[in-house]
Each structure stands twice: as structure tokens, then as C-alpha cells.
Structure 1
């Protein structure tokens, strides 16, 4: 694949000048360049726009972007940087390179890097970009299963991000439905590396993963701005796991000032919560904590009381700092105190009415700096207003 025409200075200048142009209108125009189609130009414009929000390190001259599907499936720069924080060694293997965002960051502390990708056009793009960015690697255009069948090398770390959609683009969540099937290749992977890192959908059940896969040392639940983006499994076949082979769960909410929260699965099983009506402060865990099911251990470790067995809100009389979520100082109110057109951010948890129904009932407006929480505590329904 030759990118010479696409990387001509005048073509690159045109692309940069039209980053904010209307794509539909551009498609109706004829390309001003005889050797580059308007479709190719628009692909690059779309790529740069995705890079603006997902991987700013690629906002450089002379880089090439693949079709939009490959861009959307790629990890963001922030999640890739986070995953790379504790990795180092001699040899790194990415078996599902894709657009190479994860590999670029995860491999930064390794001497030898190997990227495997079955899409020939995509691996050529990655190879070109890495050379432009002065990063070296072995780029292999091959099916993952074929590579594993003939490979004789061992690697310090293996990374893979199995495809989670079938031929009809439907999402898949069982391990045997992913491509590759982790259950089929886990022994082969363990034979060529002691550490395997697997990125999975945030919708996959954690207890299911731990029961089906061997040697999961840690599960990282990665959220960005309170949206859970991915689960990352750290499979360590040699290291003795702590807590009698218990699995560690680490919850993180990137691009926030909230701290990480870690616990072991068995800790949550034996943890208990005390219950209380709402007190002076209300604590709302971020979504990585909720995905982890850390409903009792979070209460125990921070010395907080839980509002209700089915309400994952917590409370205290005095403020507890460094909580992994939102902390609001609140007061109980009666619904009759609410006035027409009052403006609030409305939260409804374990309460009969949804936020839209609440707005309609009390004739409230959405937004502003104040919060209105409709919930249930151990003594019954409560309406809380942030101070």
C-alpha cells in the first residue's frame, strides 16, 4: 500500500483546512487532486476528528488514518496510557494489533515489539505511522491462530483484544463466542508467556470470567469520565497470587480526580454494611465501583453507612475525603417545598419515578448546579437536596 499521493504536502494541507467542513457537502465535490479521491480525503478528515477526542498524540503531519470502524474500535489514549503504567520487560506481543493504539503505549518499555494483524491494509497503516513516529516493531500480517501455531518464541507480555461482534455485527459476550476464543487458546498463550493481558467488553460479567478462565490475577475496570469503557484481565501464570489465589479487582475513573479503589473478591463476599437514613453527606460511587459490585466493601473501607440494601448510596455525618465517586452535602426536604420551574440535576435511584417523571410531576427544569436526589433509605422514601 502506497501512501505517497495521500501524503503530498498539498493534499495534507487541504485535509487540515477542511477538518471542520461539512462532510456531506465535501462528498458532492470533485477531488482537486487527480491521484487522490474525495473518499480518501474524507477518510483522513474523519480520522483526524476522531484523533482530536481519542488519541491526540496522532495529530501530527504525515500520519494515515484507517476506516472509521477501525478508529472507533481502537482504545483511547487515556485508557492505553493507564494500562501501560506498570508494564516493562524485554519482549512484547500484541496478537490483535488493530490500529495499534494500545500497542503503542503498552510496548513503550520493551526492547522487542511484535504486532500481529490479519488485515493487510491496516497493518501497513500502522507500520507507516510507527515509522513516522520513530517507533520500531516487527509487523506481521497473519491470522492470530496461524501465528500461534508456528511461533516458537516466548514473550514477557502478550496482549490481545478479541473481536466482540459476529459476522452480522451483533455484540457477543460469552468467551466462546469471541474471536479468538480465549478458552481454546489460553493454554497455548500460557506456554509462551507468563503474563497475558486481555481487553474485554465492560458488559461481560466478572464472576463469569473468573470462573471460566485460569490464573486471573487482577481485573481492572476502566471508566473514563464515569463511563465504563473496558475490562482488562491480568493473567499471571507464574506469580503466586495473594489472598489464597483470590482475584484482585481494581476500579479506576480516568480523567477525574477520584482515587483508584482496589479489593479482593472474597473481601466483598464477607463484608457487611450498616444501614442508615441519609445524614449530612451523601456518597455516590462512580460506575467502575458499581460494575465491580463493591457494594459492601466500599461501605466498610470508608466507614460509611448504606442507605438501603437495594440503594447503592452511602452516607455519613462528617465528610470522608478521597471517595471514588461524587460527594454531596445534602438536606432532606418535602416534595411540597419544590417550586415550579426550579432547576436541578435530578437523580433517581431505588425510587418509583424516573427523572423525567419527577420533572413532570413537580414541574421542574433540568440542569444547573444543584442536585435533587429521589431515593429510598432504610426508613423509606427520601428526597434530598444538595446544599
Structure 2
């Protein structure tokens, strides 16, 4: 693939000048450049707009962006940087390179880097971008299964071993339908698990945030840690750290780590069996209400929160917590609250409405009490062990 025409100075100038232009209008125009189509130009504009919010490190001159699907599937810069923390070694292998965002950051502390990608155009784009950014690697255009087979046939044992292997299995079938079970992903982790362990003692796997954690632990061996990564309270991905340890080593239970990036909230970790044995104390709402972030809720850390932070839970089915005195460094939102009666609410009062374990949804609450949405105050409709409660932030 030759990017010469697309990288011509006049073409790049046009792209930069039209970053904020109406894409649909541009597509109706004819390209001003004989060797570059308007579709190619628009794709680069789209790519730069995605990079502005998702991976700003690529907002450099002469960077090439792939089709939309590859941009959507790529990790964000913030999640990639987080995954790269404390990851280092001599040799790194990414078996599903894609647009190479994760690989770019994960591989930064390695001497030898290998990227495998079956899409020939995509791997050429990644190779070009990495060279533009002065990052070296071996770029291999090959099917993952074929590459693993070639490693198995190699006579040199040093070549067959990597300090870290990373992969992000495809989660859509040929009809673009989302898949969540391990056996439905491409590659099927259950089928290649032994092969992966034969070439590395540390495997990092990125998975959908919707996949069930207990299912993962029951299906895969040697999961050392499951990282639940959220960005501004939206869970983006689950990352498995799988370590191939000798059977003589006493293995700790799987650690669950809850992370909410681009926030001031602390990271929270616990052993998966701690939640099974922990119990909660229950109480009606007190002076402070604690709402766990979504990475904590995804982890199912419902009872361990009470134990670790010394908080009381409102109700077995209400994942809100309470205390008389404010506890700092909680991984979620902390509100000082007071109980009110629904009769105290006035028409056109403005609140951010939260409804948990309560019969009415926020829209129904707004309609019933004739409230407006928004503002700085919160109104919480929930249930404690004493029954339904309406709480107002102070």
C-alpha cells in the first residue's frame, strides 16, 4: 500500500483545513486531487476527529487513519496507557494488532516487539504510523493461528518464547453480531490456551465489558487478575492477566481490580473469594450516601464494600451504602443527604434524579412530581431495610 498521494503536502493541508467541515457536504464534492478520492480524504478527516477525543498522540503530521470500524474497535489512549503500567520485559507479542493503539503503549518497555495482523491494509497503516513515530517493531501480516503454528515449528526455542503476549479477540461474527462467550470469539481462547502458555508465561487478554466474571474464572485457568477498566464511570473493557505458574507454586485466588480512569477515585482491589465470604450490615440512610462506581458494580463487590470501608448497606438489593461520618477515598460518588417526604417537593424543582430499587423510573418520578431534570442537587429514590426512602442532597 502506497500512501504517497495521500501524504502529499497539499492533500494534508486540505485535510487539516476541513477538520470541522460538514462530512456529508464534502462527500458530494469532487476531489481536487487527481490521485486521491474524496472518500479517502473524508476518511482521514474522520480519523483525525476520532483521534482528538480517543488517541491524541496520533495528531501528528503524516499519520494515516484506517476505516471507521478499526477506529471504533481500537482502545482509547487512556485505557492503553493504563494497561501498560508496570508491564515490561525483553520481548512483546501482540497477536491481534488491529490499529495498534494497545501495542504502542504496552510495548514501550520492551526491546523486541512483534505485531501480528491478518488484515494486510491495516498492518501497513500501523507500520507506516509507527515508523512516523520512530517506534520499531516486526510487522507480520498473517492469520493468528498460522503464526502460532509457525512458532511451534520453529527450531529456535528463544524465538518461540515471549515475555508478554497480548490479544484482543474479535467479538463480532460474520454478520457483525456481537458475541460474548469465549468459544464464540475469534480466536477461541479455549482452543489456543495451551499454545499461548507454551510461548509465554504472561498473557494479557482484552474482553468485552459485558462478559460475566464468574464465567471467565470457571472457564480459563491461571487468571491472576481481572482488571475492570472504566473511563468517567463507563466500563470500557475487562482485561485478564493470565500467568502460567508451576504447579508447585501456591496460587493466590484471582484478584479483581476496579479502575475508573479520568476521575479522582481510588483503585479498589479484592480477592474474588473475599466477596463470597463477606457479609454486610444494613441500615436506613444516615448522613452520607455512597454510590459505588460502575467498575465496582460490574465486579459484584456488594458485600466487600461494607467490610473494607466499614459502611452499612441500605438493603440487600440496593447497592447504596451509608454512614454517619464522611469517609474519604471511596471509589464512587459521596453525597451528604437528608430524608424528605414526597409532599415536600415543589413543582418545577430541579434535580438530578436517581432511582435504585424503587418502583418508579426517573422519567416517571419527574412526571409524578412535576420536576425538572438537571442542576447541582440530587434526588434519590431508593429502598432501605425500613422501606422506601426519598433522599435529597444537602
**TM bin (shorter chain):** over 0.9
* TM-score of the aligned structures, taking structure 2 as reference length: 0.97
Q: Number of residue pairs matched?
A: 387
1:385 aligns with 2:387: no
Structure 2 match to 1:78: 78
Structure 2 match to 1:155: 162
Distance 2:128 2:233 in 1: 34
Cα gap change, 1:343 to 1:241, in 2 (>3 Å): farther
1:346-361 aligned at under 5 Å gives the runs 346-361=353-368
1:254 to 255, 258, 261: 261
1:254-273 aligned at under 5 Å gives the runs 254-273=261-280
CA positional deviation for 1:238: 2.0
Cα gap change, 1:220 to 1:240, in 2 (>3 Å): farther
The runs of 5 or more residues in structure 2 that have no matched partner are: 155-159
Distance 2:60 2:9 in 1: 13
1:45 aligns with 2:45: yes
Residues 218 and 250, structure 1, Cα contact 8 Å, conserved in 2: yes
Structure 2 match to 1:111: 111
* Cα distance per residue 1:54-96 (max 9 Å; x no partner): 0000001100000000000000000000000010000000000
Structure 1 match to 2:171: 164
Residues 217 and 241, structure 1, Cα contact 8 Å, conserved in 2: no
1:201-220 aligned at under 5 Å gives the runs 201-220=208-227
The runs of 4+ residues in structure 1 deviating greater than 4 Å are 239-244
Structure 2 match to 1:228: 235
Q: Tell me the SS of whatever aligns to 1:218.
A: strand
Distance 1:74 1:52 in 2: 14
Cα gap change, 1:132 to 1:240, in 2 (>3 Å): farther
Structure 2 match to 1:141: 141
Distance 2:245 2:48 in 1: 42
Structure 2 match to 1:198: 205
User: RMSD value over aligned CA atoms?
Assistant: 1.1
Distance 1:138 1:253 in 2: 33
1:322 to 329, 333, 349: 329
Distance 1:242 1:316 in 2: 41
CA positional deviation for 1:239: 7.1
* TM-score of the aligned structures, taking structure 1 as reference length: 0.99
The runs of 5 or more residues in structure 1 that have no matched partner are: none
Residues 284 and 327, structure 1, Cα contact 8 Å, conserved in 2: yes
Q: Tell me the SS of whatever aligns to 2:273.
A: helix
